[in-house]
Structure 1
Amino acid sequence: MRRVAQLLSAIASVLLFAIGVMLTYEVVARYFFNAPTIWAEELSRLAMIWAVFLGSAALLRSGEHIRVTVLTDKLSAKGQAVMDVFALVFVAVISGFVAWHGAPIAWDSYVRGRTVGSMLDLPSWVSQASVPLGFGLIAIQAVALILARPSQPPKAAHPEHIEL
């Protein structure tokens, strides 16, 4: 799963870079040449959707999602480990639920040929498919982290936490 997470992270990075290129092109075309594009904003939005959902599984693997630890920091190392597993189970269940219920929506849009109704008139399933795929990957990553948990030592307190 590590290589998959690295690949997804790389794809998300490329998509984010492409967003910057597309929006820079749009700004130059619109304000310097008075010739706005019909594609830059919509494709940038689509790339952002995919980047977020593909990158989320990689972020879960590296532990870089936002965490509220005000209560768990007060627990022992074993208590923190138990709560980490509980959180991963919760993430896996919710992500699996979203993936399971999101897939038929994307499939239905594909079968019916729905489009977004914009100037590019992209098929709706292109953006909708990111939800079941992204959440499915998050669920798989959460399960992989749970299964790898017994071989890992307990996490130390995170020095990067900001104390208020």
Structure 2
Amino acid sequence: MKSFLAVYRKFLMGLTRVVGIIAGLLLFIPAFSVVYEVIMRGMFNSPTEWVVEISTYCVTIAGFFGMAVTFVAHKHIKVDILLSHLSKRTNEILKVVTSFIGMVFCGIVTVYSIGMVAMTLEHGMIAPTTLRTPLWIPQASLPIGFGLMFLHFIRTFLENLIMLGDPDYDPAAAAGEVAK
């Protein structure tokens, strides 16, 4: 199981890195398009109709794609006022329980968001805007982002479960990751 988990972790970290790069690149589009809008509106009195829509889609997609990147970097908000008063063993058990809950939640959201995207595709729904963007495009970021989170929660759950029985197990070292 540990060797499978090491390969799974390595693959998942690589996939998350790629998705994170895409999320980062998507954030450049609103930055440049807003500058373009300001120039067009201010200097040429010719406002655009697409900047707000494109910017909204890019920021939304980047947000859903960035969830897993933030999770892997341990940068999600965490309140540990209670946890700091519990024993190490209790904290380890809570990590297993919370990773299981996160896995179930992200799995449910992934399944339902896939259904939403499928329905949008089936009905050919488009945005009621000038661009008439097919709505499945921005909506697809939900199952992708939550699906990646689901895969990370599976990884975290299994790693925490192994660490419960083997406190010396280091998942990052097992996957050949360099310590930061």
Where on the TM-score scale, by shorter chain, does this alignment land: which range?
0.7 to 0.9
Partner of 1:31: 42
Higher relative contact order (CA 8 A, sep 6+): 2
Which of 122, 128, 133 is residue 144 of structure 2 equivalent to? 133
Which residue in the other structure is 1:162 paired with? none
CA distance in 2 between partners of 1:76 and 1:23 (Å) = 51
Runs of 4+ in 1 over 3 A off after TM superposition: none
Against the structure 1 CA distance between its residues 93 and 34, is the aligned structure 2 distance closer, same or farther, given a 3 Å change threshold? same
Larger Rg: 2
Provide the residue aligned with 1:83 in structure 2: 94
Q: CA RMSD of the aligned region, Å? A: 1.5
Matches within 5 A, 1:55-134: 55-134=66-145
Letter in 1 for 2:60: I
> Structure 1 pair 78/31, CA: closer, same or farther in 2 (3 Å)?
farther
SS in 2 for 1:63: coil
Q: Is the 8 A contact 1:26 1:36 kept in 2?
A: yes
Moved more, 132-141 or 19-28: 19-28
Residue correspondences, number: 153
- CA distance in 2 between counterparts of 1:129 and 1:32 reads 37
Provide the C-alpha distance between the structure 1 equivalents of 2:30 and 2:81, rounded to a whole number of angstroms.
Answer: 35
User: What's the offset of the Cα at 1:148?
Assistant: 2.5
Q: Partner of 1:152 in structure 2?
A: 170
What is the distance in 2 between the residues matched to 1:28 and 1:82? 56
Deviation (angstroms), 1:80: 2.0
Contact 2:124 2:134 in 1 (8 A): yes
Q: Distance in 1 between matches of 2:136 and 2:14?
A: 27
The 1-side partners of 2:132 and 2:31 are apart by 22
Using the aligned pairs only, state the percent identity: 29
- Indicate which of 60, 78, 84 corresponds to 1:49: 60
Amino acid at match of 1:69: D
Using structure 1 for the length normalisation, give the TM-score.
Answer: 0.86
Structure 2 spans left out of the alignment, 5+ residues: 1-11, 164-168, 172-180
Aligned counterpart, 1:160: none
Q: Hey, what's the Cα distance between the residues in 1 that align with 2:40 and 2:79? A: 43
Structure 1, unpaired ranges of 5+: 154-164
* Deviation for aligned residue 1:121: 0.8
1:61–1:145 CA contact under 8 A, matched in 2: no
| CA positional deviation for 1:86 | 1.9
